[in-house]
Amino acid sequence: MILPRYVKVAPELGLDRLFDYEIPESLAGRIELGQRLRVPWGKRDIMAYAVEFPLQPEVEKVREIGEIIGERPLIPPGLCKLAKWMADYYACDLGAALRTILPGPVRSHEGGGKMAWWIEPVLGRAAIAEEVLQGAKSQKKAWEHLCAHGGNWLSRLVKEAGLGTAVWRALVDRGLAERLEKRFVLAEEKAEAGWADASRRPTLGEEQVQSLAEWNEERKKEEGGRPILLEGITGSGKTEVYLQALDAVLEEGRNAIVLVPEISLTPQTVARFRGRLAGRRVRLCVLHSGQTVAERRESWHEIREGRAKVVIGARSALFAPMDHLGLIVVDEEHDGGYKQGEAPRYHARDLAVVRGRMEGASVILGSATPSLESGYNADRGKYRRVRLTRRVDGAKLPKVHVVDLRKEAKPKSGGPVLLSESLKEALQSRLQKGEQSLLLLNRRGYAPSVQCPHCGQVEECERCAVPMTYHRGEGKLRCHFCDAEKRAPTQCSGCGSPVLSFTGAGTERLEEAVVASLPGVRWTRMDSDSMKARGAHRKALEDFREGRTDILLGTQMIAKGLHFPRVTCVGVVGIDSALNLPDFRASERVFQLLVQVAGRAGRGEVPGEVFVQTYTPFHPAIQFARHHDVDGFREQELEYRKAHGYPPFRRVILISFSGVSEAQTRASIQHVAGRLREIWKGESEVPEPAQAPIARVEGKFRYQIFLLVEKVAPVMRDLKREVLAQKWPAGIKVAVDVDAQDLL
Ligand code: ADP
Ligand code: ZN
Ligand code: ZN
């Protein structure tokens, strides 16, 4: 074997550009991908990571690297390879991919990343403390805290005592405390906190046993086998299958990653993993967006050093820096939250499959309503489909009633129908019986638009081409795209008419209708407005679980992963606007949402009922959801996708341009379209650039080219050169989104 002579490195603090260095004789064969290195840089040294071993350097004069830092690579070599894959597939810089994989808090840390400030009281000064601290209330409190509890990490003190770093620094300045830089180790109580009450394994049902057997058979094959598509109806025990697969992997001394769509919305799932792992005394690391910089760094090293064997988190948890990966679970694989909205626009489910294959780990994608893409992959045998067709304990799927709103009497107020007669009756009877209900309306605020009945003017956002939503609670209009707000008008801004009508409905308006039609009801509204406060979501769920509330109403937040045996009624109040979005996935998304939310009903002994209110009762998404017919929907939808050449038959690549000058933006994207037509000469079709469905956001005009391609790689090579690497007029932003999910 020839040892590499050159290495490409990415500087730690500016990963975006790569530089070549020579490997000196003394270090030959000792550098691995992802290794942290000290390299000469001008007159000084900097830290950098080894990311590639080129045969030849790109420049003539290369310098030698200085030394290797740390015994093993800080970035696991597997993740370096994944970064390269991302950079190629999603056409981003390798640096941008590395940045995604290695979070800022880890990179910015000096000396291998484990030093922190420790504050220790100088007890010998206690006698004078009283006098010194006279009048300094916060510092006095800090001092007392230190005396009572002893020294601690600064970050912990800030949290526990609720006092900022400046206060602790002042104590140090006054000589009452000492500040030491120490290697960071986890405090014992923190380590213990990861162990919740142990929970027992239930005896698996027949189908669950079968699923695990198939998974086991598959993963013995080369490279961890094919991904398993675990297609199980709601409440069929998928999570239990994940848990036992996890057990098997841990038993073999391998590690696992579990992805959930949104960690804060899935406390029940997290608690189940915690409970089960507690029994094994295995450390679980939960990654979530609420973590502080220090916590993220701490988690990262905990995982890297092998102390945490299981990681659970949202999409970025896929980049958990572990070796010996045995299993990656992607729960609710159809969820749009797995796609990152900004560059690199990766899809965590797809990357999970790639990482699994690269590292020989098995991958389980689970859902009651798999995405068309994954369903099609299973149809073709690229994934192995495993089914759970029955609910645990034999509970029945709920009966779904489709309520035709065209036949419903209009309310006298002139507002929209929120609770049809049949839904109202169903809710009333649940109240009487002490059972619970869920109401879904996937729109927050009071009314999605405010219109003048006199001249027809709609209040629009000044910066975006969308109507502003009326939020009655705050008395404001809000733009849901840029979050701009203004006072709710009392008269039309066009003609001055003093009467304005609020069209459509959001959760605030639904709340109003619920209170008006159900005297004595106890309810919680759950949407991103009402759940802003820390812990609000958890409390709402607890209240509901304990039976302190009768109705949980809200946006799709209420449709995710909840398991409440006393819910026997689910109402879907408004779904039509989602069906009418200009997006080929609109129907699929509505179908998934309906099946998911319907699946929240009837998980206990009492069978459930679902009411779907709509003006288009015969829409296939509604009709197939009514019969819980996932296969039927897939077949019909695949036909439509095939006829139009939409995914999964081809790939979508969305090229977007935006800019303050509309003419310039349009001219730039038209130039691209022209160039692409020249290069591809009819090999691939290049449609005319079009205004985005939302033509202006934050004052910028938006244009798109919607490409459908057979193969991504060759197209991306051209797009990298013709779009991403070009110099566009100042102020023009370009983006290329592979496998785009958001087409608006
Ligand atoms: P899914 O993820 O498919 O919606 P879950 O795994 O959450 O289903 O299972 C639904 C409920 O049934 C949970 O409360 C779970 O604890 C319970 N459950 C799952 N499998 C079993 C089993 N084999 N025996 C008893 N209870 C089970
Ligand atoms: Zn008017
Ligand atoms: Zn706006």
CATH number for the domain that contains residue 692:
3.30.70.600
CB 360 within 8 A of CB 326: no
**Ligand 1 pocket test, candidate residues 201, 239, 333, most atoms within 8 A of CB:** 239
Residue 100 has pLDDT above 80, yes or no: yes
733-738, strands of its sheet edge to edge: 690-697, 700-709, 651-659, 733-738
Q: Once rounded to an integer, what is the mean pLDDT over residues 527-531? A: 91
Residue 456 lies in a domain: no
The pLDDT of residue 632: 97
Residue-wise over 228-255: b if at least 16 C-beta within 10 A, else e? bbbbbbbbbbbbbbbbbbbbbbbeeebb
- Range in 332-336, 562-566, 664-668, 712-716 the model is least confident about: 562-566
Q: Does 199 contact ligand 1 (Cβ within 6 A)?
A: no
Kindly give the distance from the C-alpha atom of residue 499 to the centroid of ligand 2, in angstroms, as a whole number: 8
Q: Does 331 contact ligand 1 (Cβ within 6 A)?
A: no
What one-character-per-residue DSSP string does 509-557 give? HHHHHHHHHSTT--EEEESTTTT-STTHHHHHHHHHHTTS-SEEEESGG
Do residues 548 and 514 both lie within one domain? yes
The pLDDT of residue 188: 36
Residue 343 lies in a domain: yes
The pLDDT of residue 184: 61
Kindly give the distance from the C-alpha atom of residue 205 to the centroid of ligand 1, in angstroms, as a whole number: 10
Average pLDDT, the chain: 89
Residue whose CA is closest, atom 9 of ligand 1?
237
Q: Distance of CA 514 to CAs 105, 415, 420, 425, 437, Å?
A: 46, 14, 11, 12, 12
**Ligand 1 pocket test, candidate residues 207, 238, 240, most atoms within 8 A of CB:** 240
Q: Does 608 contact ligand 1 (Cβ within 6 A)?
A: no
Please report which confidence band the pLDDT of residue 112 belongs to, taking 50, 70 and 90 as the band edges.
Answer: very low
Q: Once rounded to an integer, what is the mean pLDDT over residues 696-711? A: 95
Q: Once rounded to an integer, what is the mean pLDDT over residues 46-55? A: 88
Q: Once rounded to an integer, what is the mean pLDDT over residues 727-733? A: 94
Cβ partners under 8 Å of residue 617, min gap 6: 402, 403, 404, 623
- Range in 14-18, 385-389, 565-569 the model is least confident about: 14-18
Q: Once rounded to an integer, what is the mean pLDDT over residues 210-231? A: 95
Percent of the chain with pLDDT over 70: 96
The pLDDT of residue 7: 93
Domain end, chosen from 393, 410, 429, is at: 393
- Which pLDDT tens digit goes with each residue over 168-216? 999 999 888 888 776 565 443 333 333 344 567 889 999 999 999 999 9
Q: Does 235 contact ligand 1 (Cβ within 6 A)?
A: yes
Q: Distance of CA 614 to CAs 406, 407, 447, 582, Å?
A: 8, 10, 18, 18
Do residues 250 and 332 both lie within one domain? yes
Residue 402 lies in a domain: yes
Q: Does 301 contact ligand 1 (Cβ within 6 A)?
A: no
* Atom nearest to 235 CA in ligand 1: 4
pTM of the predicted model as reported, rounded to 2 decimal places: 0.86
- How many Å from the N-terminal Cα to the C-terminal Cα in the chain? 52
**Ligand 1 pocket test, candidate residues 392, 560, 566, most atoms within 8 A of CB:** 392
Cα 597 from Cα 442, distance rounded (Å)? 11
- Which pLDDT tens digit goes with each residue over 565-581? 899 999 999 899 899 89
SS3 per-residue string spanning 405-424? HHHCCCCCCCCCCCCCHHHH
Percent of the chain with pLDDT over 90: 62
Cα 310 from Cα 325, distance rounded (Å)? 10
Structure tokens at 406: 């065209």
Q: Once rounded to an integer, what is the mean pLDDT over residues 601-606? A: 83
Residue 189 lies in a domain: no
Cα 601 from Cα 438, distance rounded (Å)? 8
The structural domain count of the chain equals: 5
- Range in 103-112, 426-435, 512-521, 613-622 the model is least confident about: 103-112
Higher per-residue pLDDT: 346 or 417: 346
Do residues 81 and 130 both lie within one domain? no
- Which pLDDT tens digit goes with each residue over 471-484? 999 999 999 999 99
* Prior bond of 344 cis (ω within 30°): yes
The pLDDT of residue 15: 66
The pLDDT of residue 115: 66
Residue 260 lies in a domain: yes
Count of other CB atoms within 10 angstroms of residue 271: 13
The pLDDT of residue 1: 66
Kindly give the distance from the C-alpha atom of residue 239 to the centroid of ligand 2, in angstroms, as a whole number: 54
CATH of the domain at 316: 3.40.50.300
Structure tokens at 570: 């689910």
Residue 238 has pLDDT above 60, yes or no: yes
The pLDDT of residue 728: 95
Cα 422 from Cα 573, distance rounded (Å)? 12
Do residues 53 and 64 both lie within one domain? yes
- What is the span of the domain harbouring residue 90? 6-107
Residue whose CA is closest, atom 20 of ligand 1?
237
Do residues 659 and 628 both lie within one domain? no
Please report which confidence band the pLDDT of residue 108 belongs to, taking 50, 70 and 90 as the band edges.
Answer: low
The pLDDT of residue 561: 66
The pLDDT of residue 111: 40
Do residues 369 and 405 both lie within one domain? no
Kindly give the distance from the C-alpha atom of residue 445 to the centroid of ligand 2, in angstroms, as a whole number: 22
Do residues 329 and 423 both lie within one domain? no
Burial group, residue 188, by CB count within 10 angstroms (0-12, 13-18, 19+): exposed
Closest ligand to C-alpha of residue 271 is 1
